[in-house]
Structure 1
Amino acid sequence: MLSITRLSKRHGSRTVLSDVTFQALPGRVTGFVGPNGAGKSSTLRILLGLDRPTSGTALIDGKHYRDLPDPMRTVGSTLDGSGAHRSRTARNHLAWVARAAGIPRHRVREVLDQVGLAGAGRTRVGRFSLGMGQRLGLAAALLGEPAALVLDEPVNGLDPEGIRWMRGLLRGHADAGGTVLLSSHLMSEVAEISDDLVVIAGGRVVAAGPLDRVIAGHASLEEAFFALTGAQ
């Protein structure tokens, strides 16, 4: 379970997050949406130990990320693309990540196949399309067979077939008992896959709960989003 409790973050006099509280539960896909600058990335960065809050907690299975004994086996994440050097091959990049995390090398071959890059393992990352880079980032997130996935804009750059494939993979992960926290600007995709929804605006959670409850009274998630956030 991913648990965010009264999370606040300030940079000098500027408040980035204010009392943010929500959970992402096993067996469910939680969509995390909000306008640009609403605080989504800051929340995910704190959850993944890349930044520190001013107050509050962001816990993974009851622990801070820095206290997880084997983090890549607990949570897999994609933030800011694949993170791979352009001169490395996909296989070498994943092998390096696996070795650093103490993950058996055979997982490299398995995740390349899982994300549809089995034929591109020897290709340098600099030659990858945006969609292939997204698949490589997901492959790295899956290396440790984690129970939780934290994904920021995972379908960015994917074609319709790729989006459908990603949807199936994430749905399958949740249906097998895993936790998925998904941040995206694509309202149609969030509505298609999410069980629960968290809407953030101005650094505050303005709605959270089962998807159907959050969008009740609106024709679509998009309409609910604009009504809840005041976005134009």
Structure 2
Amino acid sequence: MLLVEQLVKRHGSRTVLDRVSFEARAGRVTAFLGPNGAGKSSTLRILLGLDCADGGSALVGGRPYRSLRNPLRTVGSMLDGSGAHRSRTARNHLAWVARSNDIPRRRIGEVLEQVGLADAARVRVGRYSLGMGQRLGLATALLGEPEALVLDEPVNGLDPEGIRWIRGLLRRHADAGGTVLLSSHLMGEVAGLADDLVVIADGRIVKAGTLAEVTVGYGSLEDAFFALTGGGNGVGQ
């Protein structure tokens, strides 16, 4: 389980996260929604040990990310596309990631095949399309066979076939008992995939619950989203 409790983050005098609390449970897909600048990226970065909070906690399986030994074997993440240097090949990128977390080398070929990049494994990342970069980022997240996945806009740049593929991949991961936390701006995709929703605006959680609970009284998830977030005028990352 991924647990965020009373998380506070400030940039100078500005409060970016104001007592943010939610959980992403095992066996379920949780969607983290909010307008640009609402605080999604700040929350995910703190959860993954990339930034520090000014208050509260963010735990992976009951522990801070930075205390995990070989963390990629517990939680796989994708925040900024592939995360690979443009001069590296996909195989080389995955090889150093595997070494850093004591992940068996056999996993490199397995995940490249799984995400559809086996034929482009020795192509430099700088020549990849946006969609291919997204697939490499997913391969990196899956490399350690983690129980939890944390993904920021995972379908960005994917064609319809790719979107359908990742929808199936994430659904299978959750159905097998894994935890999935993802952010997305595609309301239709979220409505068709997520079990639970967490909506953030202006650094505060404005609604959390199942899809049915968040959308009750509204015509669609999109209608609920705009009503809850005031049309997307959040501030601060």
Q: Give the TM-score normalised by structure 1.
A: 0.99
Counterpart CA distance in 1 for 2:140 and 2:118 is: 14
Q: Deviations over 1:121-148 (max 9, x none)?
A: 1111011100000000000011100000
Counterpart CA distance in 2 for 1:204 and 1:84 is: 32
Which residue of structure 2 lines up, in the alignment, with residue 80 of structure 1? 80
Counterpart CA distance in 2 for 1:51 and 1:68 is: 16
Counterpart CA distance in 2 for 1:99 and 1:5 is: 33
Counterpart CA distance in 2 for 1:48 and 1:32 is: 15
Q: CA deviation at 1:24?
A: 0.1
Letter in 2 for 1:174: A
Q: CA deviation at 1:101?
A: 1.3
Q: CA deviation at 1:184?
A: 0.7
1:165 aligns with 2:149: no
Q: Deviations over 1:156-190 (max 9, x none)?
A: 00000000000000000000000000101111111
Q: CA deviation at 1:71?
A: 0.5
Which residue of structure 2 lines up, in the alignment, with residue 231 of structure 1? 231
Identity of aligned residues (%): 75
Pairs within 5 Å for 1:1-232: 1-231=1-231
Q: Give the TM-score normalised by structure 2.
A: 0.97
Counterpart CA distance in 1 for 2:70 and 2:104 is: 13
Counterpart CA distance in 2 for 1:42 and 1:85 is: 23
Counterpart CA distance in 2 for 1:149 and 1:26 is: 10
Counterpart CA distance in 2 for 1:74 and 1:102 is: 12
SS of residue paired to 2:18: strand
Q: CA deviation at 1:70?
A: 2.3
SS of residue paired to 1:157: coil
Counterpart CA distance in 1 for 2:14 and 2:187 is: 28
SS of residue paired to 1:66: helix
The total of aligned residue pairs comes to 232
CA RMSD of aligned residues (A): 0.7
